[in-house]
Amino acid sequence: DAGITQSPRHKVTETGTPVTLRCHQTENHRYMYWYRQDPGHGLRLIHYSYGVKDTDKGEVSDGYSVSRSKTEDFLLTLESATSSQTSVYFCAISDRAGGYTDTQYFGPGTRLTVL
Amino acid sequence: QKEVEQDPGPLSVPEGAIVSLNCTYSNSAFQYFMWYRQYSRKGPELLMYTYSSGNKEDGRFTAQVDKSSKYISLFIRDSQPSDSATYLCAMSGGGGATNKLIFGTGTLLAVQP
C-alpha cells in the first residue's frame, strides 16, 4: 500500500459539531485529495491540494474546508456537521510523475456518521 | 447525464468465468483510463491504467479502450472468489494543474466458488 493513513477510521458525531479528518502521507507526493463515497454516487471530489497552502474546490465542497500546512498532512474540516455529511471519506495522493495522468492512490477511508 | 456511466450490478458469476465490466463516457477529451478495485470497507486500489485507445494486459486482466465509441472495458479471465469486489472505472483528460479524475459509480462483482 502507498504510505497513506487516515484518522480517525471511524467517528460518530452529532449534528452541529465541528469535525476534522486527517490524512497523512509518507510518499512526499505533491497532490492530495479528499473524496466522499456514497451509494449511487461513487467517489466525488470535495477539495484537493496541489502544494503546501495551495488548495481548490472540487465537485461537492459546500460545508467543507481544508488546510495543508505541510506536504505530508491534509486536513478536512466539517465546520458544523449535518446528517447529509454521513459518508465514507477517502484521501488520495498523486505525484503525476513525468507529467502523466492523475493516477491516484487511496487511503483506507474514514467512516463518519452524523446523528 | 453523468460524464461517466457504469452499470452498478451486482454481477454474479461462477468461478472460472470470464467477466466483462464496462463504462461509457461522454467527454471526448478523456485520454487516460483507469480501473480501480475496491474490497468491502477498504480504499480503492489501482488495478489497470491505459492511455488512449487500445488494449493492455496484466495477468488475468485486460483493459480495452475504444475512444471512437467512448467505451472502456475490463475483462477478467478465470475469475476467482478473491476477485469479488467493486470495480470502479476512472478517467481524465491528462495534464494541467487542475486535471482531475472522474469516477464511475462502480460495479459490484461476486464470484461464486
For B15-72, write each residue's pLDDT tens digit: 999 999 999 999 888 888 999 999 999 999 999 988 888 899 999 999 999 999 999 9
- pLDDT for the residue B60: 97
pLDDT of B109 > 90? The answer is yes
Calpha distance A25→A78 (Å, rounded): 21
Secondary structure (3-state) at B14: strand
Nearest Cα to Cα of residue A73 among A112, A34, A17, A35: A34
Q: How many CB atoms lie within 10 A of CB A114?
A: 19
Q: What is the pLDDT averaged over residues B95-104?
A: 71
Calpha distance B99→A25 (Å, rounded): 21
- pLDDT for the residue B2: 80
Calpha distance B113→B84 (Å, rounded): 11
Higher pLDDT, A99 or B58: B58
Chain A residues touching B43 at Cβ < 8 A: 4, 90, 106-109
Selected for mutation to probe chain B from A101, A106, A110 (highest B CB count within 10 Å) is: A101
Q: Are the C-beta atoms of A35 and A90 separated by less than 8 Å?
A: yes
pLDDT of A16 > 90? The answer is yes
Q: Are the C-beta atoms of A20 and A76 separated by less than 8 Å?
A: yes
Calpha distance B67→B94 (Å, rounded): 15
Question: Which residue type occupies B101?
Answer: L
Q: Which of A42, A48, A102 sits opposite B105 (nearest CB)?
A: A42
80-109 in chain B: CB under 8 A from chain A: 88, 92, 94-95, 97-101, 103-106
Residue with cell 446523528: A115
B9 in contact with A at a CB cutoff of 8 Å? Answer: no
One-letter-per-residue 3-state SS of chain A: CCCEEEECCEEEECCCCCEEEEEEECCCCCEEEEEEEECCCEEEEEEEEEECCEEEECCCCCCEEEEEEECCEEEEEECCCCHHHCEEEEEEEECCHHHCCCCCEECCCEEEEEC
Which H or E run contains B102?
strand B102-103
Higher pLDDT, A87 or B97: A87
A37 phi/psi in degrees, rounded to 5: -125, 120
- pLDDT for the residue A98: 44
Strand partners, A3: none
Q: Are the C-beta atoms of A47 and A66 separated by less than 8 Å?
A: yes
Q: How many CB atoms lie within 10 A of CB B58?
A: 10
